[in-house]
Chain A
Amino acid sequence: MATAAAHQAYGTAEDTADTGAYERAFDAAVAAEERIEPRDWMPDAYRATLVRQMAQHAHSEIIGMQPEANWITRAPSLRRKAILMAKVQDEAGHGLYLYSAAETLGTSRDELLDKLHSGRQKYSSIFNYPTLTWADVGAIGWLVDGAAITNQVPLCRCSYGPYARAMVRICKEESFHQRQGYELLLALGRGTPEQRAMAQDAVNRWWWPSLMMFGPPDDESAHSAQSMTWKIKRHSNDELRQRFVDICVPQAESLGLTLPDPDLRWNEERGHYDFGPIDWTEFKEVLKGNGPCNEQRLTQRRRAHEEGAWVRESAAAYAAKHTNRTGGSSKLGETGATRA
């Protein structure tokens, strides 16, 4: 439980003579590792930062369905097909959790989707890379989900309660996907020479983009310092990136695959792996919309939304007609999808 003042029922801060008291109580709650909840007072900038980060996170889940869904219809065995379908379904579910969590801050899913579709909000740069072979599905599971987990596990302790709780559920499923991706690559690594080459090629293409998922280097990260003070973030970009590299190197070895970095080597003194420079120019280009699939990803997302408009409208019209008769239980979103 957070301190009494921070949890005091509203009144907006402007109504009170002493905004400072709210602010001090908020700071104290955060410092004491207490959770901030939706009805608690919070600084406007804290709210805005969370909305931005959670929306971007939710958008990444739903855009991230595309590169993997690209292989559902071509999965080479029924077992792999089932695993991949379940994974893409989980991602839609994660998107739903995260939009719901963001809505506790006073925005709406429709508003956030609108910002995604109009390019005013971003999604993770990684999903602008194409899935060119089946092995890419494994590389995404191992590296992309691995990087996501490294980033997200600390978010389970994020100061904002609804986000932290969403992350606990999401991280459990993500680590399952990550193991499945690793196991997919392991099967390829132990397969025919063509399968091994496919796996190596995929890792070569996904390694550097995965390292970019941790964001710009610490000295260029605009939001980091504030987010760390607010305990939204717990570790710096570079710290998490290093942690990820340290985890991946031995895993690559046991997969029998190499990582495409000639500078990668153990540094006894630091107790970490040194690794080569990241191409930040590429990173910036992808963020600006000039990556290999930015246009395609956004176009598909917009098209699904536009082509689905009549479906949503029809469901809303049905709900309006039948609300009185059925006691208001026929809302869009209540058909199907309720079973875990």
Chain B
Amino acid sequence: MTAPETAAVPTTAALSLGDDALVLSHRLGEWAGHAPVLEEEVALANIALDLLGQARVLLSTVGDEDELAYLREERAFRNLQLVEQPNGDFAHTIARQLYFSTYQHLLYAELAAVDGPFAGLAAKAVKEVAYHRDHAEQWTLRLGDGTETGHERMQRACTALWRFTGEMFQPVDGLDVDLAGMETAWLQSVRAVLHRATLTVPEGPRAGAWTAGAGRQGVHTESFGRMLAEMQHLHRSHPGASW
């Protein structure tokens, strides 16, 4: 299904931010029962829940949250390609968290500061996201500046996901923020964390025609369809049912 055109909140922006949170929450939910230490079972589920809460608020401003989550096809999702990337190892998950939570924190701080359609949500979410960002930064340090294995894996993860980070700063309909300023702040912050973690800041491109930058247009990476198949299958198997 597609979202109604007449929503009070800018539809494209709400779907974009809502889908980011929904999809990343789903990925983090896959960690349940697999985390490296019990404290991380709690922490990852905690972050996943925060994100799911944000997604529900955002999607509900556009339409029915469950119809939007469970009945849209892959091409109608507007999330960043970054958040749909498979979990990989713990370093990969942390690198994804570092890149995304830094972005989300800057974005929500800005949205909370001005009077706009997202101010209310952003004011609440910015507190949660500050915690997510701290968690990701702390783990980046522990893995990057811990053992040799930790360092290697964290470096590999940061490099592998680098090419998905440009998309965060491409314009989104209805999202009235200073993208250039945010990108500068993002680069500064991420570089500083990577330096402290004794990691090398990746040098490759941060966007490309197909490698990144298309998620917001509904063009996703291969693993995303499979993720949706799993997420949606039960809901789709019982059309019209309530749960």
Contact = CB atoms under 8 A, between A and B. Distances in A.
Interface in B82-128: 89-90
Interface stretch (B4-12, B43-51, B73-81, B166-174): B43-51
A131 to B, nearest CB: 12
Interface of B: 22, 26, 29-30, 32-43, 45-46, 48-49, 52-53, 55-56, 59, 65-66, 69-70, 89-90, 131, 134-135, 138-139, 141-143, 145-147, 149-151, 153, 230-231, 233-235, 238, 240-243
A194 B238 contact: yes
Contact of B243 (A80, A95, A312): A80
A118 B194 CA distance: 38
Contacts of B26: 73
A181 to B, nearest CB: 13
Interface of A: 62, 65-66, 69, 72-82, 85-86, 88-89, 92-93, 95-96, 99, 109, 134, 184, 187-188, 191-192, 194-195, 300, 303-305, 307-319, 321-322, 330, 332-333, 335-337, 339
B147 A88 contact: no
B150 A311 contact: yes
Nearest to A109: B38
B222 to A, nearest CB: 18
Given A194-B238, A318-B143, A335-B39, 13 more contacts: A72-B32, A74-B231, A78-B52, A78-B56, A88-B33, A88-B41, A300-B33, A307-B34, A314-B147, A335-B142, A336-B40, A336-B46, A339-B131
Nearest to B153: A310
A245 B139 CA distance: 47
A321 B49 CA distance: 33
By CB atoms of chain A within 10 A, which of B38, B56, B89 has the most? Answer: B38
A310 B52 CA distance: 29
A78 B39 contact: no
Contacts of A72: 29-30, 32
22 contacts: A66-B33, A73-B26, A74-B231, A74-B233, A76-B235, A77-B66, A82-B53, A85-B32, A88-B32, A89-B41, A92-B42, A300-B34, A308-B35, A309-B36, A310-B150, A311-B143, A312-B37, A317-B147, A332-B39, A335-B138, A336-B139, A337-B40
Contacts of B151: 314
Given A78-B55, A194-B238, A313-B146, A69 B33 contact: yes
A304 B35 contact: yes
Q: Does more than half of chain A's interface fall in helix, strand or loop, or is it mixed?
A: helix
Contacts of A89: 32, 41-42, 45-46, 49
A62 B41 CA distance: 10
B128 to A, nearest CB: 9
B38 A335 contact: no
Contacts of B40: 311, 336-337
Contact of B241 (A191, A300, A321): A191
By CB atoms of chain A within 10 A, which of B46, B48, B153, B238 has the most? Answer: B46
Contacts of A73: 26, 29-30, 230-231
A322 B141 CA distance: 11
A318 B52 contact: no
Contacts of B34: 300, 303-304, 307
A298 B45 CA distance: 21
A313 B147 CA distance: 7
Nearest to A58: B38
Contacts of A93: 42
Given A310-B147, A339-B131, A85 B242 contact: no
Contact of B90 (A74, A75, A191, A308): A308
Closest CB pairs A-B (n = 7):
A308-B36, A314-B150, A314-B146, A336-B43, A89-B45, A92-B41, A69-B32
A280 to B, nearest CB: 30
B42 A77 contact: no
A186 to B, nearest CB: 11
A336 B153 CA distance: 20
B35 A337 contact: no
A314 B149 contact: yes
A321 to B, nearest CB: 7
B38 A62 contact: yes
A75 B233 CA distance: 9
A96 B39 contact: yes
Nearest to A77: B243
Contacts of A188: 243
Given A74-B231, A96-B42, A310 B238 contact: no
Contacts of B89: 307
A317 B52 contact: no
A130 to B, nearest CB: 14
A305 B33 CA distance: 10
By CB atoms of chain A within 10 A, which of B30, B37, B238 has the most? Answer: B37
A214 B31 CA distance: 31
By CB atoms of chain A within 10 A, which of B42, B141, B149 has the most? Answer: B42
Contact of A316 (B146, B153, B243): B146
Nearest to A308: B36
Contact of A96 (B32, B36, B38): B38
Contact of B36 (A82, A95, A304, A322): A304
A62 B46 CA distance: 16
